[in-house]
Amino acid sequence: GAVVSQHPSRVICKSGTSVKIECRSLDFQATTMFWYRQFPKQSLMLMATSNEGSKATYEQGVEKDKFLINHASLTLSTLTVTSAHPEDSSFYICSARELAGIQETQYFGPGTRLLVL
């Protein structure tokens, strides 16, 4: 199946700093990628939809100036958590949409665990 990677897998940062997380589709082109966050023992919550070459679409309640998304190419989307605070500590997961004919599937990255001190 298709492979999606994320980097870094784990990051610890000080409060007030910015953190960039990369999401790459390794063997397919993804015009659309999605960013989720997941708190312990909870389900994945969609944060935003990242479209190549255009602005991201954010879900209600997600601050677009706080979580900057850039989908610069068909294989790369980045999420930057600006001025991170301890409450931003979470597991961030991206997914990429693969469209093969009429079959469409989303594949998920391994996740990035962010800890803000």
Partner 1 sequence: GESVGLHLPTLSVQEGDNSIINCAYSNSASDYFIWYKQESGKGPQFIIDIRSNMDKRQGQRVTVLLNKTVKHLSLQIAATQPGDSAVYFCAEIRGYQKVTFGTGTKLQVIP
Residues of the shown chain interacting with partner 1 in the complex, contacts defined by CB under 8 A: 1, 4, 6, 32, 34, 39-46, 49, 60-61, 91, 93, 95, 97, 104-111, 113
Q: Which residues of 73-86 are buried (b: 16+ CB within 10 A; e: fewer)?
A: ebbbbbbebeebee
- Nearer Cβ to partner 1 (14/60): 60
Longest dimension (CA), the chain: 46
Closer residue to partner 1 (CB): 8 or 16: 8
CB 106 → partner 1: shortest distance, Å? 6
Which residues pair with residue 69 across a beta bridge? 79
